[in-house]
Amino acid sequence: MVHRPQDENYKKTLGNLKINETTRVMYQGFTGKHATANAHQSIDYGTNVVGGVSPNKSGAHLGLPLFPTMKEAVKYLKPNATAVFVTAGRAAGAIKEAIEAEIPLVVAVAEHVPVHDIMEIHSILKTQSKTRLVGANCPGIINPLTRTRIGFMPHPSFSPGCIGIVAKSGTLSYEAVSSITRSGLGQSLVIGVGGDWIAGTTLIDGVQILLEDEATEGIIVIGEIGGNTEIGVAQMIKAWRGNQKPVMGLIGGLTAREGRVMGHAGAVMGVGDVGPREKIKAACLEDAGVVVVTDSAHFGPGMLKLLGRKQSPQGMGGVGLGQVRAFHDLAFRAPRGQRLVPKQHSRALHIQEHQARTLLFERSPTFPISRSPIPPQEIECAFSITLTIDRTSGAPCFFVSSPTSDLTGFVLDYSHDTPPPDVTATIIEHVQLPEGAKEKVSDLLAVLWRVFKENEAYTLQLKNVVVDHEGRMIVAGSGEDINGRRGMEFVFDDAAFRSSGRQKELHALRDFGSEVVEETEAGRAGISYVKLAGDDANIGTIVNGAGLGMNTCDAIVYYGGRPANFLDTGGKATKDTVKESFRLLLQDRRVEAVLVNIFGGLTLCDMIAEGIIIAFEELNVKIPVVVRLRGTNQELGEKLIRESGFPLYAFDDLESAVGKVIDLANGEGEAKK
């Protein structure tokens, strides 16, 4: 349970997501390389782009008005929406300017925006009722019916129609769009909320808009590990009293493990989060009515079936209707001996326990921190406390539990300098502390709050805080947790350092020697790589997009295979990243076959095919590789793969590709052409 304040002001902005041909779109960072290319594409698509702003620049750009300040741009352009195309370090400032200007819709696409910057933004958003944020780290929003796009969604894949889509994963949303387009149904509104810890617009918000939207006849929801918004979606659908619309869903990350970041900054299990299987179970409640599938290719045929329609003559084929099945009704074989190793990952900074003790002690030398066992007869009471981020409210949250109380969360506004007295009192009452310990616990909450804000933490966890008979409070160290875990777990935002250059002293503590070498090398190349353990794991994966990467590993396990890694080349794979990905995989001697799964939106399928061929030539690849391409220049890419002369196998659908790579990895298929 989480105690959250109501955000009635911000809820009033939900209708701002209904973009159409009258929406006047401006750009922040208008003259930048990416903004220029994106604006050109959106204008060609039909979006009503009216101009933009770039500091210290004025005149015209792309034949549209250009202003040096936000104040001037808003005065003359009168925008309904703004596309924020600035660097991650400048994104928060640009969003604040848009909020101050009361622009109805702000779409921020930058990746690696520091999470504390976004928490501050959310604290501001809750105080107003004019501006709605989508992002950050999101592909944006698109209305194919009116050809209006704000963000970088690959618009050639979209077609006007009646299916609404809301997704955490960009690439999985494009896959869903492709399936719906092939079915002939088309899309009404597609909202990419992004995969960060905190989303300006959540899956719940998106589903509510689609339930209310008259043009939307069916809804697709794409979630993943991290947070609990998928549970909120199921609850909303269950309680909905309006027009009942069919809903389909997909949850990525069944092969992920607690404590790991799977590509997206927010794709990690945190304190208070339910797991992906629990999300699926909740979504598939009979009275919620969500049909959950394993493969996004099932969305098109599934929606046709649910709507009682036949394949449109304009459709491009796709999988048969018989393949649409609720995921919870199917057996899921967990990989033998699989786990994720080690816990450290480049998307977040985990410091050593002795370093965490130092940070805590520096701010309050009065707290004893024990490294040795505490005799049970000396313990008056014990509890655990974690300060982390509540993703639903986009705010900090204390999670506390004790032997006499369940795990409960208490949300605070980020703007507070110290924990409010009423929250502190409620936490103390919940844990049922003896009178002598109340003041010390109040001080502990204040110290954790300081560390959290000053050092830009994700999570500060004290797994065993003990109060003895004399009223002394002791923060237990290694070996003190009853489950044998480390007594203290402090995790900090890597983006604060990488994007904004903050927290240099803290990030100097990072111990590269404790990390997997391949993961560190991948991070330097801009690749997200997680090595999966298990002696029998034998299938390497190369995927563009975190959500698609998680779903690919899930599909391999579902069909009886054993993935050896998660690898996300990033939303825009290149020849160089494909080659580097192969180099990383080839260091793992367990890998007997590789599955490359690429959606060509902004990425061209033929370019990916060329990168794979180059990798074979330059790295002397000997193992077979299955390539599944979908999207831009797909046919040309498949042709290059088939005619390469290498042990490469081209497929259009994921299910066939997964079946083939499992056979090859197990020595049951052709080893070479």
User: Which residues are tagged catalytic?
Assistant: 264
DSSP sequence for 405-433: EEEEEEE--TT-SS--HHHHHHHHHHHT-
Show the CA angle centred on residue 189, arms to residues 187 and 194, nearest 5°.
115
Rounded distance between C-alpha atoms, residue 322 and residue 303, angstroms: 12
What separation in angstroms does the CA of 418 have from each of 117, 424, 448, 476? 18, 10, 10, 24
Which tokens belong to 200? Answer: 């300006």
Burial class (CB in 10 A: 0-12, 13-18, 19+), 431: buried
> Which parts of 513-646 are beta strand (E)?
528-531, 539-543, 565-568, 593-600, 625-631
**Cα distance between residue 459 and residue 66, in whole Å:** 42
Written in H, E and C, the secondary structure of 593-623 is EEEEEEEECCCCHHHHHHHHHHHHHHHCCCC
Cβ atoms of residues 641 and 612 within 8 Å:
yes
Helix runs in 78-201, H state only: 88-100, 115-125, 170-183
- Whole-angstrom distance, CA of residue 109 vs CA of residue 458: 21
337-360 CB burial, b ≥16 within 10 A, e <16:
ebebeebbbbbbbbbebeebbebb
State how far the Cα of 547 lies from the Cα of 350, in Å rounded to an integer.
Answer: 23
Structure tokens at 52: 């933009």
Four-CA torsion 100, 106, 107, 111, nearest 10 degrees: 20
Q: Which helix or strand (DSSP H or E) is residue 81 part of?
A: strand 81-84
Instruction: List the one residue out of 556, 580, 579 whose CA is nearest residue 566.
Output: 556
In angstroms, rounded to a whole number, what is the distance separating the alpha carbons of residues 129 and 104?
9
> How many Cβ atoms from other residues are within 10 Å of residue 384's Cβ?
20
* Helices 170-183 and 546-558: angle between axes, nearest 10 degrees: 70
* Residue 519 · residue 346 · CB < 8 Å: yes
H/E stretch holding 396 reads: strand 395-402
Rounded to the nearest angstrom, the gap between the alpha carbon of residue 366 and the centroid of all alpha carbons in its chain is 39
Give residue 396's Cα distance to chain centre: 18
Four-residue CA torsion sign, 218, 201, 131, 571 = negative
Tokens coding 142: 């698109």
Instruction: Give the whole-angstrom CA distance, residue 234 versus residue 94.
Output: 34
Cα separations in angstroms, 3 against 93, 416, 435, 512: 30, 17, 24, 38
Query: What is d(CA 283, CA 232) in angstroms, rounded to the nearest whole number?
Result: 9
CA distance 636 to 252: 29
Which tokens belong to 65? 């008005």
Structure tokens at 340: 């994720």
